[in-house]
Structure 1
Amino acid sequence: MAYVAVKGGEEAILNSHGLVAEDRRGDPAVPELTVRQIAEQFGLAVDRVMCEGSVYDRELAALALKQAQGDAVEAIFLLRAFRTTLPRLAVSNALDTARMAIQRRVSATFKDIPGGQILGSTYEYTHRLLDFDHLDIVDCDKPKAKVADDPLDPTFPRAFDSISDEDLIEAELPEPDQSPVFDLTRDPLAMPAGRDQRLQNLARGDEGFVVGLAYSALRGYGAAHPYVGETRVGDVTIEILPEELGFSVSIGDIIVTECQMLDFFGGSEDEPARFTRGYGLSFGKSERKAMAMAIVDRSLRCREYGEEAKYPVQDEEFVLSHTDNLEAAGFVSHLTLPHYVDFQGDLQFIRQLREEHNRRLSSKEAAE
Structure 2
Amino acid sequence: MYVAVKGGERAIDNAHSWLAEARRGDHGVPDLALAQIREQLSLAIDRVMAEGSLYDPDLAALALKQARGDAVEAVFLIRSFRTTLPRFGATVPLDTGAAQIIRRISATYKDAPGGQVLGPTFDYTHRLLDFDLAKDDSVAPAPELPAATGAVPHILSHLNAEGLMQPESAGEGDVPDLTRAPLEFPATRPLRLQALARGDEGFLLSLAYSTQRGYGRNHAFIGELRIGYVRVSAQLPELDFEIEFAEILLTECESVNQFQGSKTEPAQFTRGYGLVFGQSERKAISMALVDRALRARELGEDIGTAPAQDEEFVLSHCDNIQSSGFLEHIKLPHYVDFQAELELIRKLRRDASAYQEAAE
The TM-score, its normalising length taken from structure 2, stands at: 0.95
1:153 shift after superposition: 4.2
Corresponding position of 1:274: 268
Asked if residue 346 in structure 1 is aligned to residue 345 in structure 2, the reply is: no
In the TM superposition, residue 357 of structure 1 has moved relative to its aligned partner by 2.7
Superposition map of 1:130-141 within 5 A: 130-141=129-140
Given the alignment, which residue of 277, 288, 293 partners 2:287?
293
Distance in 2 (CA, whole Å) between partners of 1:187 and 1:78 is 20
Which sections of structure 2, spanning at least 5 residues, go unmatched? none
CA contact (8 A) 1:257 1:287 kept: yes
1:233 alignment counterpart: 227
Measure the CA separation in 2 of the matches of 1:339 and 1:126: 49
The secondary structure found in structure 2 opposite 1:163 is helix
Letter in 1 for 2:274: G
Residue of structure 1 aligned with 2:186, choices 166, 183, 192: 192
Q: Could you list the per-position Cα deviations for residues 32-67 of structure 1 after superposition, in whole angstroms to 9, with x for gaps in the alignment?
A: 000010000000000000000111000000000000
Deviation string 1:205-250 (CA, Å, 9 cap, x unpaired) is 1110011111111111122100001010000010000000022110
- Partners of 2:355 and 2:165 lie apart in 1 by 67
Given the two structures, how large is their TM-score scaled by the length of structure 1?
0.93
Structure 2 residue aligned with 1:90: 89
| 2-structure distance, mates of 1:166, 1:118 | 25
Pair 1:174 & 2:159 matched: no
Distance 2:271 2:39 in 1: 34
Q: What secondary structure sits across from 1:304 in the alignment?
A: coil
- Percent of pairs with identical residues: 54
Stretch moving more, 329-338 or 229-238: 329-338
Cα distance in 2 between the residues matched to 1:269 and 1:356: 64
Q: Is the 8 A contact 2:49 2:75 kept in 1?
A: yes
Paired residue for 1:27?
26
Q: CA 1:363–1:168 in 2, change beyond 3 Å: closer, same or farther? A: farther
Distance in 2 of aligned mates of 1:113 and 1:332: 46
Offset of 1:271 from its aligned partner?
1.4
Following TM superposition, by how much is the alpha carbon of 1:333 offset from its aligned partner in structure 2, in angstroms? 1.4
2:225 counterpart letter in structure 1: T
Aligned to 2:289, the other structure's residue is in SS state: helix
Deviation (angstroms), 1:356: 2.9
Write out aligned runs for 1:318-337 (5 A): 318-337=313-332
Asked if 2 retains the 8 angstrom alpha-carbon contact of 1:199 and 1:297, the reply is yes
Q: For 1:33 and 1:7, how far apart are their aligned partners in 2?
A: 35
The root-mean-square deviation of aligned C-alpha atoms, in Å, is 1.4
Alignment of 1:17-56 (within 5 A): 17-56=16-55
Name the CA distance, whole Å, in 1 between partners of 2:174 and 2:263: 32
Can you give the 5+ residue segments of structure 1 that lack an aligned partner in the other structure? Answer: 1-5
Moved more, 326-335 or 39-48: 326-335
Q: Which amino acid aligns with 1:94?
A: P
The answer to whether structure 1 residue 307 and structure 2 residue 306 are counterparts is no
CA contact (8 A) 1:296 1:313 kept: yes
Superposition deviation, residue 8 in structure 1? 2.0
Q: Distance in 2 between matches of 1:153 and 1:336?
A: 52
SS in structure 2 of the partner of residue 257 of structure 1: strand
Q: Which amino acid in 2 is paired with 1:37?
A: Q
Q: Distance in 1 between matches of 2:149 and 2:134?
A: 39
Q: CA deviation at 1:363?
A: 4.6
Secondary structure in 1 aligned to 2:229?
strand
Would you say the 8 A contact 1:115–1:153 is kept in 2?
no
Match of 1:3 in 2: none
Aligned residues: 355
Instruction: Judge conservation of contact 2:102–2:148 (CA < 8 Å) in 1.
Output: no
